[in-house]
Each structure stands twice: as structure tokens, then as C-alpha cells.
């Protein structure tokens, strides 16, 4: 069987490794960029780090005793992925600067057309195309008229100096919060344009000492146990809490965030401007040990007036004030409803994915779409994203996908995809559960789909683990 993997980010590299381990030799990875790393290649903004502990945000088979910090910086994470791809011999199998344009299922195989005009074919396609991938550029009047440098946070222009400059950032998501902490100390003036305040959980990010790293290297069993304990602790507290808005975990989390705000911000006016009027973790929870300190510095300003328009000299807010800027950063998030798009995907009988997904993207267990056989998504729609380690999630999904593929290898059929009734049942149960989650308690966030229903795994983490352990073949159509 021939496999095509789309994307050489964390999940694409993992796919190559797992395919080889499973004994498949005929596979290739198409990557539109010029190197591996996905989100860690595209995001290079100052202050970038992962707020999932590094020892959890690692491949299970490639623990890294050398992580510099509990939450290591983005550049280090990128180097980790590059190193793993190299060590496992994945790089020669990646076709860089090749973007997949079309996927068409014809006569039992996927026909792949690349933007370059080249063509390929595969029995199985694994889409490892990422979630937070397509920058969301806001429609603010006058945006193009800005005379200084303006870019999205995921397209950071490192040729533009920020030191000693007047920098403005639009947005208060995880990205903007990290940029704020990183840039306030070196800018002349820093303006953070907040549309909605965020709850922020405290985070301590100590460096690992040389002695600690040596002990991780020496005692692999204890090292593994530490990572497992971290994972378990996280799932028992956070992961199982978010799916039940009334849970003790969510109440405790809110108390923690409230205490963090009350204790950290001295000026009562600023404190109230920073206080959200929705529940903690309704939006994707932000963790930061230095944001409140940064925003209280004399050169920092939290701008809460709405943005009227952008002008050549800066941002005009609705109170008539012009915030003069040299650099404007759009930390305005991503189009998370894209998934496989903008690829044009046609399944069995020429069915267009755009039509199937015209209301919203949907997939059985986040992996398979009825009528699109032998096409499997990693971190697809409705999966566990958020404050999870997506590496663990993708690895479990691959384990599951490879069991489906095993049905083909064993000759029990040539085409496998979720059945319509299974998709229907899953969607109904999904929607019911989604309404009980913390994400549905009244805030705007990228978790919500076009109907305002959270599009994120709404069941327990335990359930995800159980579902991924073994596919229920009765829920699949095998031809």
C-alpha cells in the first residue's frame, strides 16, 4: 500500500515514524513549507513557548532530558522536531515546498495533485495539516493604510526592529499575552488592544538545572514516571474538569485565576479592566507568570476602547484617540474551521468536501468522514485540542488509524470510512455533551463552531483513550 502524508509538522513527522515502525515502506510526506515543525516553524514571535510542559509535549518514544525549562521556548521545540525527523530518517521522505492542491478519490485510490502541477497516487492519505494554521486577519477599516510595519503574529517579520519603538498588539489570546511579556521590557511604548479580557492562571517556569538534566538521563525509569505523573495529574484536574462546567476542578481553577488577578494587579482600575465577565477556561485558558507584571510597567498601556479604524500613524479608538505606532502586530488568531481546506477534496462518487462541510467541519471521532475512504485526519475537527499535548493525541489517533489500515492490509476490504449512521450518532452525542462543557458557558472563542457549539472533544480524556485503543469496526463501512 502507498501512503501520502500531508504536512511535516509534529503529526506528519510522527506519521512517518509510525508508518515505518508498522512495516510500511511506500510512503511520502508533502510539506508546503521548506522545513519541518509546522506551527513551530510558522510561529517565531518573541516570547513564543508552549504552555504544555515540555516533558509532556514530546514524543513518547523520544523523551528529551535536555529541555531547558519546564515550558521551553518555541525555537527549542522546533529544533526538537527537526532533530527527531533527522534521527528517524524521515527527512529524505519529505517533499518540501510542495503544497497539495487537490485530493480526488477515483477507482479506489486517491489521486493527488500538487500546486506545482505534479501528480501522485495513494491508497491511504493521512492529513496532518494542523489546526491553528491559517492566520485570521481582522477586517478593520484602514488596515492597509498603516504606514509602519504590520504583520500577523504567525508571520513575524524579524527584519523589523521593535526595540525602542512604539509597538501595538491587537488581541489578548495566548499569543498576545506571550508577546506582551516579551516585548514590554525593550519597547519605548507598548499598547495592548484588548477586546475581551482573559483569565490567566499563574505559571512558574523554572530552568532545569544541569543536575536535573543529568538525573533525567541517568534514571530513565524515574524520568518516564515523572512525565507520566505530569500527564496524569493534568488529565485528572484540567482535562476532566473542562467537560463539566459544574465540576469542582473548574470552580477551583476560577478561584486560582481570580486570586492571581487580585494579587498581581495593584491599580484597581486596571485590575477591573483585566477582569473577564465569563468563566475561567471558557476561552482557551492562558497561563503566564509575567503578563500582569508586564502590563503594569510604565511604558505599557492596556487599551480597552474599541478600535474605530487604522490610520497611517496608528490605531484610532472609538473615543477619538490616536495611538501612534511604529509596529502593529495582529495577534488575532486563526481560521480554525479550515482543516483540510483550502485543498479541494472529492470523495467517493465525486462528492465535494465543501458540500459535506458547508455548515461546519465534522468527522467521526475527529478522524474519518463518511464517503471519504482511506482518508484519515490527525487533530481533525472535534478532537481534543486546547491545553492538551497534541502529540499524545496524534499518537493515539495514529495507533487507531493504523488498525483501520490493517483491515485493508489484511485484505478484508479496499476502502474504509466511518459509516453515515455512526457519524450521525456521534454528532448527536457530541452536541449534547458539548453543551455541558466550560466552553459553552457564554464567551466568544475559537472553540465554537458556526452554530456556537464547542467543536472540541466534549467527553472525558479517559473516553478518548478508550475510543482510540481499538476501532469499533461496526461503525465503519468496509468495502
- Chain contacts with ligand N01 (rule: CB under 6 A): 50-51, 132, 138, 140, 153, 170-176, 178, 195-196, 284, 307, 331-334, 444, 446
Least Å distance, CB 458 to ligand N01, is: 17
Q: Is-contact 438 283, C-beta < 8 A?
A: no
**In terms of DSSP H, where are the helices of 192-238?**
210-218, 220-234
Least Å distance, CB 471 to ligand N01, is: 28
The nearer residue to ligand N01, 24 or 151, going by C-beta atoms, is: 151
Exposure string for 152-182, b = 16+ CB within 10 A, e = fewer: bbbebeeeeebeebbbbbbbbbbbbbbbbbb
CA dist 59 and 425 (Å) reads 33
The nearer residue to ligand N01, 174 or 374, going by C-beta atoms, is: 174
Tell me the HSE value of 382 on the side-chain side, using a 13 A CA sphere.
23
The nearer residue to ligand N01, 187 or 332, going by C-beta atoms, is: 332
Least Å distance, CB 248 to ligand N01, is: 24
Q: Is-contact 351 340, C-beta < 8 A?
A: no
Q: Is-contact 310 316, C-beta < 8 A?
A: yes
Least Å distance, CB 479 to ligand N01, is: 37
Least Å distance, CB 207 to ligand N01, is: 18
The nearer residue to ligand N01, 11 or 132, going by C-beta atoms, is: 132
The nearer residue to ligand N01, 59 or 476, going by C-beta atoms, is: 59
CA dist 301 and 315 (Å) reads 13
Least Å distance, CB 161 to ligand N01, is: 23
User: Which residues on neighbouring strands pair with residue 4, listed in sequence order?
Assistant: 28, 125
Kindly state the DSSP code that residue 236 receives in the 8-state scheme: I
Residue nearest to ligand N01 (CB): 173
- Pick the closest to residue 124 from 18, 28, 211 (CA basis): 28
The nearer residue to ligand N01, 372 or 388, going by C-beta atoms, is: 388
Amino acid at each position: 500500500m502507498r501512503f501520502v502524508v500531508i504536512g511535516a509538522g509534529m503529526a506528519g513527522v510522527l506519521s512517518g515514524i509510525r508508518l515505518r515502525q508498522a512495516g510500511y515502506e511506500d510512503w511520502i510526506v508533502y510539506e508546503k513549507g521548506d522545513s519541518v515543525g509546522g506551527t513551530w516553524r510558522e510561529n517565531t514571535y518573541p516570547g513564543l513557548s508552549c504552555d504544555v510542559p515540555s516533558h509532556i509535549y514530546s514524543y513518547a518514544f523520544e523523551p528529551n532530558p535536555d529541555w531547558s525549562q519546564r515550558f521551553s521556548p518555541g525555537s527549542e521545540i522546533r529544533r526538537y522536531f527537526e532533530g527527531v525527523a533527522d534521527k528517524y530518517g524521515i527527512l529524505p521522505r519529505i517533499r518540501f515546498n510542495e503544497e497539495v492542491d487537490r485530493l480526488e478519490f477515483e477507482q479506489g485510490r486517491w489521486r493527488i495533485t500538487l500546486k506545482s502541477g505534479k501528480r501522485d497516487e495513494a491508497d491511504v492519505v493521512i492529513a496532518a495539516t494542523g489546526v491553528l494554521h491559517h492566520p485570521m486577519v481582522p477586517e478593520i477599516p484602514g488596515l492597509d493604510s498603516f504606514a509602519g510595519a504590520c504583520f500577523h503574529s504567525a508571520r513575524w517579520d524579524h527584519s523589523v526592529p521593535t526595540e525602542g519603538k512604539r509597538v501595538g498588539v491587537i488581541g489578548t489570546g495566548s499569543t498576545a499575552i506571550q508577546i506582551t511579556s516579551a516585548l514590554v521590557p525593550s519597547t519605548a511604548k507598548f499598547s495592548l488592544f484588548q477586546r475581551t479580557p482573559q483569565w490567566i492562571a499563574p505559571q512558574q517556569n523554572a530552568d532545569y538545572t544541569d543536575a536535573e538534566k543529568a538525573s533525567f538521563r541517568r534514571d530513565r525509569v524515574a524520568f518516564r514516571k515523572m512525565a507520566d505523573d505530569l500527564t496524569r495529574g493534568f488529565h485528572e484536574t484540567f482535562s476532566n474538569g473542562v467537560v463539566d462546567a459544574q465540576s469542582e476542578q473548574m470552580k477551583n481553577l476560577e478561584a486560582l485565576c481570580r486570586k492571581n488577578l487580585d494579587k498581581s494587579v495593584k491599580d484597581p482600575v486596571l485590575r477591573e479592566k483585566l477582569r473577564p465577565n465569563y468563566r475561567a477556561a471558557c476561552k482557551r485558558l492562558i497561563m503566564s507568570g509575567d503578563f500582569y507584571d508586564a502590563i503594569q510597567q510604565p511604558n505599557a498601556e492596556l487599551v480597552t476602547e474599541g478600535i474605530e479604524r487604522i490610520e497611517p500613524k496608528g490605531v484610532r479608538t472609538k473615543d477619538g484617540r490616536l495611538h501612534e505606532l511604529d509596529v502593529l502586530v495582529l495577534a488575532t488568531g486563526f481560521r480554525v474551521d479550515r482543516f483540510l481546506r483550502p485543498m479541494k477534496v472529492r470523495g467517493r462518487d465525486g462528492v465535494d468536501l465543501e458540500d459535506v462541510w458547508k455548515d461546519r467541519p465534522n468527522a467521526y471521532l475527529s478522524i474519518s468522514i463518511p464517503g471519504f475512504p482511506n482518508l484519515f485526519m490527525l487533530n481533525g475537527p472535534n478532537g481534543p485540542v486546547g491545553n492538551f499535548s497534541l502529540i499524545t493525541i496524534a499518537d493515539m489517533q495514529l495507533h487507531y488509524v493504523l488498525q483501520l489500515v490493517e483491515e485493508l492490509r489484511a485484505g478484508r476490504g479496499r476502502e474504509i470510512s466511518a459509516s453515515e449512521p455512526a457519524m450521525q450518532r456521534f454528532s448527536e452525542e457530541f452536541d449534547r455533551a458539548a453543551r455541558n462543557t466550560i466552553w459553552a458557558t457564554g464567551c466568544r472563542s475559537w472553540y465554537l463552531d458556526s452554530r456556537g457549539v464547542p467543536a472540541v472533544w466534549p467527553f472525558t480524556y479517559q473516553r478518548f483513550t478508550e475510543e482510540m485503543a481499538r476501532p469499533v469496526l461496526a461503525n465503519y463501512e468496509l468495502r
